Amino acid sequence: MPEKITNIAKNTSYFTLALILQKVISFTYFTLIARALGPEDLGKYYFAISFAAIFSILTDLGQTNLLTREIAKAKREANNLFGAVLGVKLPLAAATALIIIALANFLGYSELTRALIYFSTICIVLDSFTATFFSVSRGFHNLKYESLAAVVFQLIVLSFGLSVIKLNLGLVWLIGSLVLASIFNFSYSLTIVAKTWKLSLKPIFDWRLVKLVLRLSLPFGIYAIFQKVYSYFDTVLLATLAGDYYVGIYQISFKIINAIQFLPLAFVASLYPAMSAYWLDNRQQLAITFERAMNYLIIISLPISGGVIMLADKIILIFKSGYGEAILPLQLSIAALLFMFTAYPVGSLLNACDKQKLNTVIMGLTVLASVILNLILIPKFQAVGASLAVLLSSIFMLVLGLIQVPKIIEYRAKKILAVLGKSLLASALMIILIIYLKNYLNIILIVPLAGALYFAVLFFLKGFSREDLTSVYQSFNKKSIHENPTIDA
């Protein structure tokens, strides 16, 4: 096997393992702090993070993705490209921090909330530079350092955060665990750039180069802005229109959904390079690949969605009794899983077929719909309204994408609908079993039994075959690096 392919294989393995570990540690930590804080304080904590996170894109505007792409194309120009991006980021980061601080004071938040926002601002500025530093490593086809840092980051947050909880030091110290981890990541990634890649850390303030960087990064930046608003604006609206308590309630479903979305992310990232290649020379195979991706994600999402809906009251007990009002928001949010999962291959198809602008328009329209729905539903239904907005906007986004698919490829919609029908039938039988067992058995026993029944019924209905299992395994082992992988911090 050529050395380059071997290196890419190692990088993909490192990054996939890091994503899994990161998700496990992150969700474990969230569960522990949710139990320790209760809905009100949890809401304050995540409101501050969400408030700062919305503005975090202003520190970058797409330069990080651009840097990875351009260094991969022309490694000899890495020093100039990196310097030019730093020249853009430094004033953007300073301006963003000032905007966040000014808004936090102007909007009249409490002293505690302002302090939490200030610390969150430190995190988003440091993390923005960290992302830029690691984008250099990505440009050199190296994900090992970033993968290690992602896990160490979570371990620092976990260890320091648990100490804060144990000593009952309060929310400001708790968010300090994120600052400490961000400082480590910033220092580590900066060292990699300077020592491993031998790049100068001196920013380049060349107006001609700065204009070029801004122009090329604009498409990345617009999509990233939409993505940030879609991910965090509902939390900010919920805090403003309903209060911190409901933010804490809503975070349960938000974090569970966020953890589960690793599955389609990893799966579609493995298919994206193949889709790009098939678009150039094999449209029929592209259609088949799209169909399989849709089928597999339908098969995966439905039992998770059905199982969580039926066991939501049991799952919420993990977070203690104070989160009883989180049951219905969780059920509504998890009902969106089918639409969220199947939107991934649709979006990847559009990107692979040079329809990035169309994808950005769809995301923009979805963000607009989400904001309108949240403004209507949150005042009436609080966290339930925010979750209902997630469900409706997810359906809206999928429909917009599916309308475009027949314009690109000729795929067999009936085949996908057949798998959907079989999966729904298998899910219905699984739900009946859960209803029968939930009053007699522990959830730890119910989950594997229900899962086994679902897949047994689906296999009997020929919803999937042994060849499908082999295909899924092989897709996860295709050693390709997606242009813009992400790790949640």
pLDDT score recorded for residue 248: 94
Distance CA 101, CA 295 (A): 47
If asked whether residues 212 and 274 sit together in one domain, one would say no
Q: Which residues contact 133 (CB under 8 A, 6 or more apart)?
A: 186, 189, 190, 192, 193
Distance CA 223, CA 60 (A): 12
* Last residue within a domain, chosen from 212, 241, 270: 241
Q: Left (φ > 0), alpha (ψ -120 to 50) or beta: where does 198 sit?
A: left
If asked whether residues 215 and 274 sit together in one domain, one would say no
Q: 232 lies in a domain? A: yes
Q: 299 lies in a domain? A: yes
Q: Which residues contact 5 (CB under 8 A, 6 or more apart)?
A: 479
pLDDT at 191 over 50: yes
If asked whether residues 290 and 209 sit together in one domain, one would say no
Whether 144 and 11 have beta carbons less than 8 Å apart is answered as yes
Written as one letter, the residue type at 156 is I
Q: 287 lies in a domain? A: yes
Q: Which residues contact 400 (CB under 8 A, 6 or more apart)?
A: 362, 365, 366
pTM for the model stands at 0.85
CA–centroid distance for 426 within its chain: 28
Closest CA to 174 of 258, 54, 49, 56: 49
Out of 92-96, 206-210, 289-293, least confident range: 206-210
Distance CA 381, CA 339 (A): 22
How large a percentage of the chain has pLDDT more than 90?
Answer: 60
Q: Can you tell me which residue has the tokens 């009794």?
A: 321
Q: How would DSSP label each residue in 45-71?
A: HHHHHHHHHHHHGGGTTTHHHHHHHHH
If asked whether residues 88 and 118 sit together in one domain, one would say yes
pLDDT score recorded for residue 140: 85
* Last residue within a domain, chosen from 211, 241, 271: 241
SS3 label, residue 442: coil
If asked whether residues 221 and 327 sit together in one domain, one would say no
If asked whether residues 216 and 185 sit together in one domain, one would say yes
Distance CA 345, CA 263 (A): 12
Distances, alpha carbon 142 to alpha carbons 15, 138, 148, 188, 489, in Å: 10, 5, 11, 15, 19
* Last residue within a domain, chosen from 241, 274, 303: 241
Distance CA 181, CA 339 (A): 34
Report the length, in residues, of the chain: 489
Distances, alpha carbon 443 to alpha carbons 263, 310, 315, 433, 446, in Å: 22, 11, 8, 12, 5
Distances, alpha carbon 345 to alpha carbons 254, 287, 342, 369, 486, in Å: 22, 11, 6, 21, 17
If asked whether residues 274 and 146 sit together in one domain, one would say no
405-438 pLDDT per residue, tens: 999 988 888 999 999 999 999 999 999 999 999 9
pLDDT score recorded for residue 474: 59
If asked whether residues 196 and 303 sit together in one domain, one would say no
Q: 457 lies in a domain? A: yes
Q: 254 lies in a domain? A: no
pLDDT score recorded for residue 33: 95
pLDDT score recorded for residue 484: 41
Q: Which residues contact 46 (CB under 8 A, 6 or more apart)?
A: 235, 247, 248, 251
If asked whether residues 76 and 206 sit together in one domain, one would say yes
pLDDT score recorded for residue 481: 40
> Side-chain half-sphere of 259: how many Cα atoms within 13 Å?
18
What is the tally of structural domains in the chain?
Answer: 2
Distance CA 16, CA 208 (A): 38
Instruction: Count CB neighbours of 148 within 10 A.
Output: 13
Q: 197 lies in a domain? A: yes
Across the range 62-86, mean pLDDT stands at 85
If asked whether residues 477 and 372 sit together in one domain, one would say yes
Distance CA 390, CA 333 (A): 6
229-273 pLDDT per residue, tens: 998 999 999 999 999 999 999 999 999 998 888 788 777 766 776
If asked whether residues 221 and 294 sit together in one domain, one would say no
Distance CA 283, CA 267 (A): 20
Q: 248 lies in a domain? A: no
Whether 134 and 146 have beta carbons less than 8 Å apart is answered as yes
130-148 pLDDT per residue, tens: 999 998 988 887 888 988 9
Report DSSP state, residue 464: S
Q: Which domain holds residue 341?
A: 261-489
Distance CA 182, CA 123 (A): 6
Encoded tokens for 382: 């609080």
Q: 255 lies in a domain? A: no
If asked whether residues 273 and 201 sit together in one domain, one would say no
